[in-house]
Amino acid sequence: MEEEREATFPGPRLLVGSIISIAFLSLYSLLVVLDVWPEASALPGEVTNWCERAADGLILEPVNTVTNLAFVVVGLLILHRTDLQKISDVNSFTRNKSMSTVYAGSVMAIGLGSFAMHGTKTEIGSFLDWGGMLVFIFFPPLYRLKDFLGWSDDALFRNHIILSILVLGLELLQNSDDILGVGDGLRRFGWFNGFVWAVMIGFWIILEIRIGLERTDFSSNLRLIIMSAPPIALALGTYAYSHPWEIYLLCAMFVLISVLINDLKTPRIERDSQKWVLLGTSSFILGMLVWPYGKEGSAYCNPDSILQIHGLWHLLCAFATWCFYIHFMSERIIQSDDEE
């Protein structure tokens, strides 16, 4: 991996990330004190839908809120490493510091958005929560697709911004009653954000598997099965759908994506180990498996415990984002003969 060099502490990226985080949390607290946040979906003393008894004060769900700071810590650690990072041509993460900075920012967006949601239990908080999750999950598949399609780094950033604005705009409309009733109409499509989230995860898995299969002599049909089976299995085992047709559409999309990716020219990427991607994937899947048990009504729900299952979900996912960062940093892009 890249060498590191001494630098002033805190470095510019860590300093900016810290200031943004402190500013967000300060603004959050100020709005609570001024009672500006909209009406919460739970009152103090009630058990919330994420199985924690609502508290009276700055934070309605203390454990489920504070555990989101794990994402902020991971993001700040990445920014610190980026400040120390030496530029090299190993891959896009090491070629310049913008890629790591964008990744770190998207990780922090998860934590700050979810902090607002669990802390206030409001519609705005929910929008910020989904907003952070979607901004993050767009990055890995687009980053991986960049190598397949030969995008420049600037093209990746542009496409990430466009996709984020488009989807978050639709998500905002879905929860808005102010545009000629459009919000009421779109609210019927409550599956939208979770469906997009699931599609992006499956898309990313398919791209990673396709790269791993490049050095095999498997037939095209066998590759197609191997690529589409894991995301379909994950969806069948963990996807919480509101309408039965969602799961069929989701699986069909995974097959379609696999067909489209199967015969694309695959980038040559070398990895000394698959440890970090396997650790990250395992941590995320474990989080998905325990996630349903952290809801109100679960047999394992204990609203007065400091050990909240949904808080564990946050910690497992934050660890996964760190693992995926190390995974991306450790790759080596091998130029093909016609590119040399």
Residue 190: per-residue pLDDT = 55
Residue 2: per-residue pLDDT = 44
Q: Is 303 exposed, middle or buried (0-12, 13-18, 19+ CB in 10 A)?
A: middle
Name the nearest CA neighbour of 330 among 91, 7, 118: 91
Express each pLDDT in 298-314 by its tens digit. 999 999 999 999 999 99
pTM, two decimal places = 0.91
Q: How far apart are CA 123 and CA 33, in angstroms?
A: 18
* Encoded tokens for 259: 């067909």
Express each pLDDT in 44-97 by its tens digit. 999 999 999 999 989 999 999 999 999 999 999 999 999 999 998 888 899 989
Residue 245: per-residue pLDDT = 87
Listed as ranges, residues in the chain with pLDDT below 70 are 1-7, 175-191, 335-340
Residue 338: per-residue pLDDT = 47
Residue 182: per-residue pLDDT = 52
Identify whether the C-beta of residue 225 lies closer than 8 Å to the C-beta of residue 277. Answer: no
Contacts 24+ apart (CB under 8 A), 2-9: 2/85, 2/86, 2/88, 2/90, 2/94, 2/329, 3/86, 4/81, 4/84, 4/85, 4/86, 5/84, 5/86, 6/84, 7/83, 7/84
Q: Is 75 exposed, middle or buried (0-12, 13-18, 19+ CB in 10 A)?
A: buried
